[in-house]
């Protein structure tokens, strides 16, 4: 049905869990002036185009396998990386390279904060975000297939015809939203009473709408946020639903109109828009606050609406007509490394907090 991932299959996942230490790298880290950057350069991972690359490297820095091919100074991607082949090469290495303690890891030393991956500031509230594109079929929604992703207006070129029926777009694409301590505290009124209604603070609303409701983020992963001219309308409000000794419950409602309005032919579902885009989601969320702990214990929110234009990690594919795009937000503790990955594109050079 096209929902199987191209690389992150159950077999490959089990191989990695059993045999390797998985590390995620940002393309910025190659320029680190600390021990991490030196390891990357010494190992031979010399390309700056790390995005989408997979490398199997020994603790000593020897490359066993990669899905990146460099020939005559030009780089290209292989469809897969040979994990089994990498393990065979590992087993063929002399014991002096594979034995526990064979590689002496020195002190990390000073960290190059300018190029290192950002970490959430103390007190940050972290929301796990997922983007998922659907197709409308009658009154129901269904998952995408390769035939739904077009590389031209009329669908003569589709993902099914170009990529051998294995895509990642139907998978939920993760991201994170951070709320600084002062920000999330500003969501809770000093004396909440049932029925009280107030707008979401401007800074939070602006970042939520322009950055995290941005469908470009789904397919390029490096958007700093929409420009203000791309926001045709947006409104977010909070309503106090219930107040008790151990819990205050808030309801979030909102809507946004982003990008352009669809042309009549796009609206009729006859073509896919390749040069314009638009997204009109409605938002619904529920927040719960513990007055004793002075912390939010729940922050669930969903945005759902019709979107047209390019979307998904598909190198420029679009769905025909206007189709649903869903975005979910869920509170996480932040005690897992995977939950502390910074929001897409955020770095020391591209700050996350503050107006753009």
- Which residues of the chain fall below pLDDT 50? 1-3, 313
The whole-angstrom separation of Cα 142 and Cα 243 is: 38
The whole-angstrom separation of Cα 215 and Cα 226 is: 9
Q: Residue 198 — φ and ψ, nearest 5°?
A: -155, 155
Angstrom distances, CA of residue 194 to CA of 82, 183, 198, 243, 250: 59, 22, 12, 6, 9
Angstrom distances, CA of residue 356 to CA of 101, 184, 226, 253, 278: 48, 20, 9, 24, 21
Percent helix / strand / coil, the chain, rounded to 5: 20, 30, 45
Enumerate the domain spans of the chain. 10-98, 125-340
Angle, helices 10-19 vs 83-92, to 10°: value is: 20
Q: Would you state the structure tokens that stand for residue 90, as one six-digit string?
A: 């590992």
Query: Tens digit of pLDDT for each residue in 246-278?
Result: 999 999 999 999 999 999 999 999 999 999 999
Predicted confidence at residue 322, as pLDDT, reads 96
Query: Tens digit of pLDDT for each residue in 280-295?
Result: 999 999 999 999 999 9
- This prediction's pTM: 0.85
Predicted confidence at residue 2, as pLDDT, reads 39
Contacts of 68-76 spanning 24+ positions with Cβ under 8 A:
75/47, 75/49
Helix, coil or strand: residue 41 = helix
Predicted confidence at residue 167, as pLDDT, reads 54
Q: Would you state the structure tokens that stand for residue 303, as one six-digit string?
A: 């945005």
């Amino acid at each position: 049905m096209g929902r199987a991932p191209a690389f992150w299959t159950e077999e490959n996942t089990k191989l990695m869990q059993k045999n390797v230490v998985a590390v995620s790298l940002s393309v910025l880290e190659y320029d680190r002036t600390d021990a991490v950057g030196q390891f990357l350069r010494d190992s031979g991972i010399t390309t700056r185009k790390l995005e989408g690359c997979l490398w199997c490297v020994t603790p000593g820095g020897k490359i066993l396998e990669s899905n990146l091919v460099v020939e005559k100074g030009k780089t290209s991607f292989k469809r897969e990386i040979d994990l089994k082949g990498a393990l065979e090469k590992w087993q063929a290495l002399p014991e002096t390279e594979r034995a526990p303690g064979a590689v002496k890891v020195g002190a990390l030393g000073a960290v190059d904060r300018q190029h290192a991956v950002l970490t959430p500031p103390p007190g940050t509230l972290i929301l796990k975000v997922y983007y998922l594109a659907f197709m409308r079929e009658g009154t129901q929604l269904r998952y995408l297939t390769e035939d739904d992703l077009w590389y031209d207006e009329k669908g003569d070129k589709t993902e099914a015809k170009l990529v051998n029926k294995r895509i990642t777009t139907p998978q939920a694409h993760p991201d994170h939203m951070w709320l600084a301590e002062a920000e999330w505290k500003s969501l809770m009124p000093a004396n909440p009473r049932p029925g009280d209604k107030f707008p979401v603070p401007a800074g939070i609303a602006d970042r939520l709408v322009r950055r995290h409701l941005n469908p470009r983020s789904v397919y390029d992963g490096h958007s700093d946020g929409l420009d203000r001219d791309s926001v045709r309308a947006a409104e977010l409000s909070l309503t106090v639903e219930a107040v008790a000794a151990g819990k205050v419950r808030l309801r979030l409602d909102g809507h946004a109109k982003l990008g352009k309005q669809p042309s009549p032919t796009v609206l009729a579902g006859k073509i896919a828009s390749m040069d314009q885009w638009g997204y009109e989601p409605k938002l619904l969320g529920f927040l719960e606050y513990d007055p004793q702990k002075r912390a939010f214990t729940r922050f669930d929110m969903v945005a759902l609406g019709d979107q047209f234009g390019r979307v998904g990690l598909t190198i420029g594919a679009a769905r025909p007509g206007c189709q649903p795009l869903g975005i979910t937000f869920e509170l996480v503790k932040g005690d897992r490394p995977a939950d502390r990955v910074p929001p897409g594109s955020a770095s020391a050079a591209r700050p996350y907090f503050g107006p753009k």
